[in-house]
Structure 1
Amino acid sequence: MKYPLILGFGIVAVDVVVWRAKLPGNDLARLFIRLALFFALSGVLFSSGLSPFTQAPYADVIELHWSGQILEIIWWLMGARLLTLSLDTLLLPRAWRKQRLFSDVFGAVVFLAAAVAALGFVLELPVRGLVATSGALAIVLGLAIQSTLSDVFAGIVINTTEPYAIGDWVTIDDVEGKVVEMNWRATHLLTGQGNTLIVPNAVAAKAKITNNSRPGDVHGVALVLEIGPEVRPRSVLDALERALTGSNVILSTPAPYARMKRTTANSVQYEVVAFVDDMNKKLAVSNELFDLCYRHLTAAGVALRALGVAAPALTSHDEKEALLRRVSLFDSLSSEEVSRLAKHLTRHEYQANHQILAPDTVPDSLSIVHSGVLSVSVVEAAGPREISRVGPGEAFGEAGLLAGIAMQVSISTLTPSVLFQLAKDDMTSFLKDHPEVAKQMCQLLAYRQDKLGKLAMPMPAEREHDHSLFQWLIGKVWNRHALSDDAGSN
């Protein structure tokens, strides 16, 4: 074969172009092209007497001799690289290819073996002495990089056992984050604060690891609450179970639960556990669940308070006033106005699965939930669809009470519930003495309508388009409760 060196270096140049330009774009096709180029280079070398297992010929022409030596060394290194790529592309699972640990370690071993083989076969150096010297050098280096080597071997264990993979949400030593990278030295976590936390593999291998992404469709949310020991546990557990019922985002399977966790000298710890189907929902559900627990405990007469301090006794009068103050509709009322309005509240008890409000009904009273859980649903062509749940401290029916607007939703109890109601006549009497309160309520009602849209309170056709929603509501309230314009203008 004429000009084997030129042909060999030409094949190497084509391989470099394919490698650097990533042509073609498919990894598997590119690998087969590079393997074909390697076999072509092997054919050129062996057919021209340039065997990679011996020194290159042309000893009398120093330029040709060293060119042949370089080409033979390139053959060894090229073969090592293609062997690593073949293992990575054809044999390793996709998850391992993303983590890069096995590819990097195997590639380093193969390249080291190829370098020793090239020194021994091509350059005919004393490999035994080199191996002996490298062994002593390896001992020195091993002592110097002990921690790094422990990370490497721990990384091999982690990748073999696969306690987590890239994309999983894990907790390592009480630090929670999303796995974004795994390499031969460390695991990179993206924390909830948007920071990157690097956990050495040696630390991760010894730590307790909680993988929140397995199983993939169930994620737990847990809260621990401390209650005074004088409160009956059954009362606390009943309130916490109602709180769990108050969220329609929580999964029914596995079933959520509340339990008494442990007792201390000054308190009893209760744990509330629920499950969601998406990791991204955990924060919102955790906050919602804590709010629900607080409201249902308060409704049951159990307050989260400083331990060791006796809880104040609430009278029936105080209970009604406290309930009114938790309703945003009455935020603008003074203490005297709240006290007067609280006297007109009437108590109503309902069993579970009782319909409180039917669709297209104009409520003639304002209902405030004292305890229990209610479901709010709309009737669609496919059947009823729940849109929300109502718990202690929440009110409904204000649109009908103030402006005579029909509600387009159905409201029914999910658990035994206690409601306090304010009748239309009592509200009318109150608004005649405080017409400015009617305006403030209309402002809040208009704001809530903008937030809710037409689902719960659609606007009737008689509304004039040139009037704002607030002006239209003011007119409806004035007409429904027979308020005087002179009072309203004050």
Structure 2
Amino acid sequence: MKYPLILGFGIVAIDVIVWRFRLPAHEFSRLLLRLALFSVLSWVLFWSGLSPFTQAPDLNAVEQHWLGQVLEIIWWLMAARLLTLSLDTLLLPSAWRRQRLFSDVFGAVVFLAAVVAALGFVLELPVRGLVATSGALAIVLGLAIQSTLSDVFAGIVLNTTEPYSVGDWVMIDDVEGKVVEMNWRATHLLTGQGNTLIVPNAVAAKAKISNNSRPANVHGLSLVLEIEPEARPKTVLDALGQALTGCNAILAAPAPSARMKRTTLNSVQYEVVGFVDDMNKKLNASNELFDLCYRHLAASGVALRALGMPAPTPTAHDAREALLKRVSLFESLTGDEITRLAARLSRHEYQANQQILASEAVPDSLSIVHSGVLAVTYAESSGSREIARIGPDETFGETGLLAGLPMHVSIATLTPCLLYQVSKDDMTSFLKEHPQVAKQMCQLLAYRQDAISKLMTAIPVAKDTDHSVFQWLFEKVRQLHSLRDDS
């Protein structure tokens, strides 16, 4: 019996090495190898007369007897482990395997059964009395850890019903986060602040659960805006509808919507609802949509003020001056310069689906959007592609007006639009009166990559000098508008 024991423990050692170093790397191949090792161990035991269902022989050789007993107990434990792995690898769905709850509970039950079998068959202990004693002990432990047991059984319910799985964005009651782990006790959420929040399974099973990841590729976002009650509802709804139209991140289907939600003593609440195709876009889309709502409401004359405060006294002001003050391109101008430039603006109204600028044209005026939404389209070999949308307080045609460069895009209205334009001649006379403004505007064009990207104009860059883009652009402006070189 000496050599079968050595062979048996050698097989156990090989199994430990396979388990510890994960050899081979493929999980299914590793399971097949361990099953083969277990089959060889079983053959060695039965061939040598060591049956896991009876005590080990050789009672006169104490050392060999106890080594045989240990090997038989190891056989039971290996059988329990391989049964658990086989169920986990071959039968359980991938979602259940990631959550681990069912595997852990089933493994605990199988190992408990293997221990009881080893005590009864190998050591020949009175299992009936042990089971009766363990039953009484289980009642005592159950009363002591009943809250933990409720988490375990609630976790089983959550795993079988699958209201969410690992990787889903969910809201459990008022807590929102991404599910990063599900175990026998709790669900782990990664919140938007980067913190891990642990929700006990018993709490999650009783809570109201909103799964933002289902259905896939459609995730809703909602903004609630409180508007002064003096504003006409149609004006507000039209402005919010244009904001939804101007937000590129919002899906066209399902269709976004805006509605009046409820009224209070100090305001009227309006809700804006849209959808995105990726949960990671939800935050940026919400911020962009809120900014667009603000701008379109301001363009429609809807004032945003602190709730509970009296409405400000209307004051007469020039709409063109107010518009110029909101445009980032003219943020460096003084009040007097704004007034002089506003006098040169001309008002233009356009209907929906009307082309404003053709591709490859050189704009001879600077257009400032007061209200409405315009689409910027780029012509490719495969067809036209919309690359951006323009809304209130934004401009286009800067490089054509300032430097005489063509635009490689076409611009058309999506909704009725109101534009203010300043012509090349008016801008030339204005820049001659204020030559420092030309430099400031060129600095904005040179250093603001978002403005340059909207122009879609390739600007050559000289690598031998600093600020070469600005210098090249400013030289073009000086030549085109016959400005003095005051730099």
Contact kept in structure 1, 2:445 and 2:451, CA below 8 Å? no
Determine the structure 2 residue equivalent to 1:313. 314
Post-superposition shift, 1:427? 2.1
Instruction: Write the letter of the residue equivalent to 2:210.
Output: T
CA distance, structure 1, for counterparts of residue 288 and residue 230 of structure 2: 27
Determine the structure 2 residue equivalent to 1:92. 92
Post-superposition shift, 1:160? 0.4
CA distance, structure 1, for counterparts of residue 403 and residue 189 of structure 2: 54
Counterpart mapping for 1:66-465 below 5 A:
66-307=66-307, 308-313=309-314, 315=316, 317-448=317-448, 452=452, 456-459=456-459
Size of the aligned set, in residue pairs, is 485
CA distance, structure 2, for counterparts of residue 131 and residue 150 of structure 1: 23
Deviations along 1:126-182, one digit per CA (max 9) or x if unpaired, are 112111111121112112212211111111011101111111122223222222211
Structure 1 length normalisation: TM-score? 0.93
Distance 1:259 1:2, change over 3 A: same
CA distance, structure 2, for counterparts of residue 441 and residue 354 of structure 1: 29
Post-superposition shift, 1:358? 1.2
Counterpart mapping for 1:9-88 below 5 A:
9-88=9-88
Contact kept in structure 2, 1:449 and 1:457, CA below 8 Å? no
Distance 1:199 1:450, change over 3 A: closer
CA distance, structure 1, for counterparts of residue 121 and residue 474 of structure 2: 98
CA distance, structure 1, for counterparts of residue 87 and residue 450 of structure 2: 61
CA distance, structure 2, for counterparts of residue 176 and residue 144 of structure 1: 32
Distance 1:435 1:9, change over 3 A: closer
Distance 1:454 1:202, change over 3 A: closer
- Gapped regions of structure 1 (runs ≥ 5): none
SS, match of residue 170 in structure 1: strand
CA distance, structure 2, for counterparts of residue 188 and residue 132 of structure 1: 37
CA distance, structure 1, for counterparts of residue 293 and residue 202 of structure 2: 41
Post-superposition shift, 1:86? 1.1
Instruction: Write the letter of the residue equivalent to 2:96.
Output: W
Instruction: Write the letter of the residue equivalent to 2:122.
Output: V
Contact kept in structure 1, 2:368 and 2:420, CA below 8 Å? yes
Instruction: Write the letter of the residue equivalent to 2:378.
Output: V
CA distance, structure 2, for counterparts of residue 343 and residue 413 of structure 1: 25
Contact kept in structure 2, 1:408 and 1:458, CA below 8 Å? no
Greater Cα shift, 112-121 or 403-412: 403-412
Contact kept in structure 1, 2:446 and 2:452, CA below 8 Å? no
CA distance, structure 1, for counterparts of residue 448 and residue 4 of structure 2: 84
Post-superposition shift, 1:17? 2.4
Greater Cα shift, 476-485 or 202-211: 476-485
Post-superposition shift, 1:327? 1.1
SS, match of residue 250 in structure 1: coil
Contact kept in structure 1, 2:346 and 2:421, CA below 8 Å? yes
Instruction: Write the letter of the residue equivalent to 1:88.
Output: D
CA distance, structure 1, for counterparts of residue 303 and residue 320 of structure 2: 16
CA distance, structure 2, for counterparts of residue 333 and residue 50 of structure 1: 97
Instruction: Write the letter of the residue equivalent to 1:310.
Output: A
Asked if 1:4 corresponds to 2:4, the answer is: yes
Q: Between the two proteins, what is the percent identity of the paired residues?
A: 75
Distance 1:274 1:449, change over 3 A: closer
Post-superposition shift, 1:406? 2.3
Post-superposition shift, 1:453? 5.4
SS, match of residue 12 in structure 2: helix
SS, match of residue 213 in structure 1: coil
CA distance, structure 1, for counterparts of residue 34 and residue 484 of structure 2: 91
CA distance, structure 2, for counterparts of residue 197 and residue 433 of structure 1: 62
CA distance, structure 2, for counterparts of residue 240 and residue 397 of structure 1: 26
Contact kept in structure 1, 2:52 and 2:122, CA below 8 Å? yes
Contact kept in structure 1, 2:396 and 2:455, CA below 8 Å? no
Distance 1:209 1:449, change over 3 A: closer
Structure 2 length normalisation: TM-score? 0.94
Contact kept in structure 2, 1:226 and 1:269, CA below 8 Å? yes
Contact kept in structure 1, 2:445 and 2:452, CA below 8 Å? no
Distance 1:336 1:104, change over 3 A: same
CA distance, structure 1, for counterparts of residue 133 and residue 250 of structure 2: 65
Distance 1:341 1:48, change over 3 A: same
Post-superposition shift, 1:314? 5.5
Post-superposition shift, 1:464? 13
Deviations along 1:53-73, one digit per CA (max 9) or x if unpaired, are 222222222222222221221
Instruction: Write the letter of the residue equivalent to 2:428.
Output: T
Contact kept in structure 1, 2:186 and 2:200, CA below 8 Å? yes
Q: Which of structure 1's runs of 4+ aligned residues deviate more than 4 A?
A: 463-467
Counterpart mapping for 1:475-490 below 5 A:
475-485=475-485, 488=486
Distance 1:324 1:56, change over 3 A: same
